[in-house]
Structure 1
Amino acid sequence: MRPYKARKITPNPKDSFMSTKVFGHKAPDTDSTGSPIAWAWYLSEVKGIPAVPCLLGEPNTEAAFVITHWGLDKPEIISDVAEGDKVVIVDTNNPAELPAGINSADIIQIIDHHKLAGGLETKGPIDITMRPLACTATIMYDLMGDDIAKAPKGIKGAMLSCIISDTLEFRSPTTTDHDRAVCDALAKDLGVEISDLAAKMFEAKSDVSEFSDAELLRMDSKEYAVEGTKFRVSVLETTAPKMVLDRKDSLMASMGDVAREDGVDQVLLFVVDILNEEATFLIPNDLVKTVAEKSFGTTVSGDTVVLPGVMSRKKQIIPSLKL
């Protein structure tokens, strides 16, 4: 199966300039792709505020599948924002995951489900919604209230897909009862079997055959520092871990170049087996061996270590990292 390619559109530069830009983090996953689409629809069609969804990079294979599956247009990819651009930030509040010029833009709203990172500057008081839920789309569903009934099938489908992705079909420890309830409500409304859609999404996510090692290491990654040491923490969620692990030697050989190019000290790669609910942590050197043993209370004897039950970067990996 070839990776899904989302349908491209040619944005109207005038519309893009005049409209509020809605975007998530770099290396867009399904939530950082679907949530900007959903919220830009809500602002434009319900609140009367012209808005356009944007991406800060190519969507991953699962997100590209979701765009195609629900008949949505692929948002414009932008590399930066201009001074004074009106923007809404979703699915992150971390400046390291946002365009370089973000603090010169006019940030008018943040909707997020991650911890507060700090470092963003705004022109004045803004609307911020941050809730301890598994998915940004769940928060948006609540914020839309009764207006969700006005949403077209594609918007509801994108939101449903975001929740399935971020909860790993309710396997992730970040899943709350409310995420599940919203997911169930959207699925019922759309006449969709959650398990069927999840299987198609995870199949698309698992096909990484056409990506280079460097692209895989950056595909779903976030920067994080521990005691002054900067890491790129990469997670590959898959139902076919062998496809990734068969490439572990070349992936580990590429980590040094990726780290140097990205200005970090080390890349940490976790291959999350969705079905078996475990992560395989690649161990390329003594530094990462130390991280593995101190962070997860394990003993490393080779170039990989399996971490049973580890599924979530946000809740289980990032908070555990030690040197």
Structure 2
Amino acid sequence: MINVFVHLNPDSNAVCTAAVTAGWLNRCGRPSRDWRAGEATPETRYIFEAAGLPLPPLLDIPLKAEQVWLADFTEPVQGPADLLQSNIVGIIDHHRLGGLVTQLPPEARIKPAGNSATVLWLLMDAEMRRTIPPILLPGVLLSNTVILRSPTTTEDDIRTTSELFALSGIKHRAFACVLLTAKTDITGQSAEQLLSWLEHFLSQNRRQT
């Protein structure tokens, strides 16, 4: 079993990419399950609710000797304490490499892009693209690229967004407005959670530039 999971302060890009990566691996005949390593943001919860899917469960297993696939990170400090005791067999990411050491050569898909979902989308054939939940990846693309206005947005992101919205039938502008409302909802969040999110956001931008 391959355990697909994300960094400790997960955003929508990370959690949605992990969920779709696990589905992709399963459809490739490689049994996988997705996890999140931290609390989901209101925006992430909205995306999964809109997709009619449960959030990935919190990672609650020891990783020693487990096969793992990292989604949206490669820096050991951003993962669980026992990450380096696991067997990292794969990576989907769009950041710079972060000093990771693996037991064996992993299947690494790392590409400059505005988010990890674009990297994953480019790996899929047409048949697999039609089987993924329609809201997860469009939500990721609009969120992580700030509706395609972030300076890290690439031509691959723009093309992928166009293909995803055409395939899903979702209205781009209407969905972007609802997503922005969910993204800025801080109801029920503590000062510690908000500071943690801000620290992660700034870290993400430093790694992408």
1:199, CA displacement in angstroms?
Answer: 1.0
Q: Report the equivalent of 2:205.
A: 313
3-state DSSP class of the match of 2:88?
Answer: strand
CA contact (8 A) 2:95 2:207 kept: no
Q: Report the equivalent of 1:258.
A: none
Q: Report the equivalent of 1:148.
A: 128
The answer as to 2:65 corresponding to 1:92 is: no
Q: Distance in 2 between matches of 1:90 and 1:78?
A: 13
Q: Distance in 2 between matches of 1:149 and 1:61?
A: 26
The answer as to 2:31 corresponding to 1:139 is: no
1:149, CA displacement in angstroms?
Answer: 3.7
Which blocks of at least 5 consecutive residues in structure 2 are unaligned? none
3-state DSSP class of the match of 1:111?
Answer: strand
**Runs in 1 of length 4+ with deviation above 3 angstroms?**
none
TM-score when scaled to structure 2?
Answer: 0.93
Q: Distance in 1 between matches of 2:39 and 2:170?
A: 27
1:84, CA displacement in angstroms?
Answer: 0.9
Q: Report the equivalent of 2:147.
A: 169
1:47, CA displacement in angstroms?
Answer: 0.8
The answer as to 2:50 corresponding to 1:72 is: no
> Which of structures 1 and 2 has the larger relative contact order (alpha carbons within 8 angstroms, sep 6+)?
2
Q: Superposed, which structure 2 residues align to 1:1-323 within 5 Å? A: 19-44=1-26, 46-78=27-59, 81-118=62-99, 120-152=100-132, 154=133, 156-222=134-200, 234-235=201-202, 313-314=205-206
Q: Which moved more, 1:71-80 or 1:208-217?
A: 71-80
3-state DSSP class of the match of 1:87?
Answer: strand
Give, as a single letter, the amino acid of the residue that structure 2 aligns with 1:37.
A
1:145, CA displacement in angstroms?
Answer: 2.2
CA contact (8 A) 2:115 2:144 kept: yes
Q: Distance in 2 between matches of 1:31 and 1:73?
A: 16
TM-score when scaled to structure 1?
Answer: 0.61
Q: Distance in 2 between matches of 1:181 and 1:127?
A: 24
Give, as a single letter, the amino acid of the residue that structure 1 aligns with 2:138.
L
CA shift digits 1:253-301 (9 cap, x unpaired): xxxxxxxxxxxxxxx9xxxxxxxxxxxxxxxxxxxxxxxxxxxxxxxxx
Q: Distance in 1 between matches of 2:11 and 2:114?
A: 14
Q: Distance in 2 between matches of 1:166 and 1:160?
A: 10
Q: Report the equivalent of 1:277.
A: none
1:150, CA displacement in angstroms?
Answer: 4.1
Give, as a single letter, the amino acid of the residue that structure 2 aligns with 1:29.
D
3-state DSSP class of the match of 1:38?
Answer: helix
Q: Distance in 2 between matches of 1:33 and 1:61?
A: 12
Q: Report the equivalent of 1:248.
A: none
1:197, CA displacement in angstroms?
Answer: 1.1
Higher share of residues assigned strand: 1
3-state DSSP class of the match of 2:148?
Answer: coil
Q: Distance in 2 between matches of 1:186 and 1:193?
A: 11
Which has the greater radius of gyration? 1
Paired-residue identity, %: 26
